[in-house]
């Protein structure tokens, strides 16, 4: 199972990071949401699981 951390800017896909390890993906997700894009309303960060 792979994990994608996707950053959206103004409802458009801006950046995609792919991780093999779920813990690493969750750490990156929390870093982006909590530190980098904390109060920026145009940015949205989410994590999705993908096969293969």
* pLDDT at residue number 21: 96
Task: Label residue 28 exposed, middle or buried (CB < 10 Å: 0-12, 13-18, 19+).
Answer: middle
Q: Which tens digits make up the pLDDT trace of 11-44?
A: 999 999 999 999 999 999 999 999 999 989 999 9
Delimit the domains of the chain by residue range.
2-50
pTM as predicted = 0.89
């Amino acid at each position: 199972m792979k994990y994608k951390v996707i950053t959206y800017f103004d409802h458009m896909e801006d950046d995609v990071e792919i991780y093999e390890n779920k813990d690493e993906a969750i750490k990156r997700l929390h870093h982006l949401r909590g530190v980098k894009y904390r109060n920026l309303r145009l940015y949205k960060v989410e994590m999705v699981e993908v096969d293969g």
